[in-house]
């Protein structure tokens, strides 16, 4: 039988408060992002090489954040953890139990939390403007990373979508967004590899260095808290 902390009960616990929070994230981050883009364009033409370089920086930054955040929510706490239990842990743990649940989430439930996570990036970009070329390039990197962070949950959802839009499938095959075959390894119990869900470029580095296992050992040694056990069956 399911207990209140089981991911299997998570669908019942999507609240009006979460919905409002997600709408706030989408609205405020979209507004500050549009303002950032307008100020960037108003400052004059951008150098041709800035955009591809900023995109790579944005993808790598978002991949790093997605890997660390996903590992954190998979590994520590439970659905009753204050604030993040319902806002984030719920979705990550639920998606291990039944990945197809993601496909039933609408745009707001899929993306609202990630839009909120991108807010410090859009405001950070606005803070470094106005300035010279260096400041404008930095602001463009903030903007690119904000877009990648905001779209990470959508990209992850597409990795579980049986027939994604043609352009999305093309980007997946080009490894410019998370490829389904790459992400499938994360869904093999005990769900302890390939945490990155923006593009997956950094998973190899994390696996080769045993980064997360090392950090878990350090945290457990320092606090006495053991990591969440994923290999326990959900009743």
Residue numbers at the binding site for Zn ion (CB under 5 A)? 74, 191
* Residue 82 tokens, joined: 């204050």
CB of 71 to Zn ion, least distance (A): 8
**d(Cα 80, Cα 3) in Å, to the nearest integer?**
11
- Our CB check for Zn ion shows the closer of 8 and 30 to be 8
Are the C-beta atoms of residues 194 and 211 closer than 8 Å to each other? no
CB of 95 to Zn ion, least distance (A): 5
Q: Which is nearer to Zn ion, 32 or 75 (CB)?
A: 75
Question: CB-wise, 27 or 100, nearer to Zn ion?
Answer: 100
Q: Which long-range contacts (CB under 8 A, 24 or more apart) does 14-23 make?
A: 14/90, 14/109, 15/86, 18/86, 18/87, 18/112, 19/108, 19/109, 19/112, 21/87, 21/112, 21/113, 21/116, 22/108, 22/109, 22/111, 22/112, 22/113, 22/115, 22/116, 23/108, 23/112
Q: Which is nearer to Zn ion, 136 or 182 (CB)?
A: 182
Between the CA of residue 198 and those of 36, 63, 66, 195, what are the distances in Å? 22, 5, 7, 10
Residue whose Cβ sits closest to Zn ion: 74
Compare residues 136 and 191 and give the one whose CB is closer to Zn ion. Answer: 191
The least distance separating Zn ion from the CB of residue 160, rounded to whole angstroms, comes to 6
The nearest distance, CB 225 to Zn ion, in angstroms, is 19
Nearest distance from residue 193's CB to Zn ion, in Å? 10
């Amino acid at each position: 039988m399911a207990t209140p902390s089981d991911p299997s009960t998570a669908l019942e616990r999507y609240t009006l408060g979460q919905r409002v929070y997600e709408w706030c994230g989408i609205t405020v981050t979209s507004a500050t992002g549009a303002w950032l883009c307008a100020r960037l364009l108003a400052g004059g033409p951008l150098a041709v090489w800035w955009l591809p370089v900023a995109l790579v920086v944005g993808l790598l930054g978002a991949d790093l954040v997605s890997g660390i955040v996903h590992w954190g929510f998979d590994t520590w706490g439970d659905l009753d953890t204050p604030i993040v239990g319902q806002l984030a842990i719920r979705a990550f743990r639920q998606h291990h139990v039944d990945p197809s649940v993601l496909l039933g989430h609408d745009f707001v439930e899929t993306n609202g939390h990630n839009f909120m996570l991108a807010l410090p990036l859009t405001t950070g970009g606005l803070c470094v403007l106005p300035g010279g070329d260096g400041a404008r390039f930095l602001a463009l990197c903030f903007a690119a990373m904000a877009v990648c962070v905001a779209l990470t949950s959508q990209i992850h959802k597409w990795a579980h979508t049986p027939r994604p839009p043609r352009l999305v499938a093309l980007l997946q095959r080009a490894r410019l967004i998370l490829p389904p075959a790459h992400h499938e390894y994360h869904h093999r119990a005990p769900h302890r590899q390939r945490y990155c869900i923006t593009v997956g470029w950094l998973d190899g580095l994390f696996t080769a260095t045993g980064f997360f296992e090392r950090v878990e050992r350090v945290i457990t040694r320092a606090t006495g808290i053991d990591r969440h056990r994923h290999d326990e069956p959900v009743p």
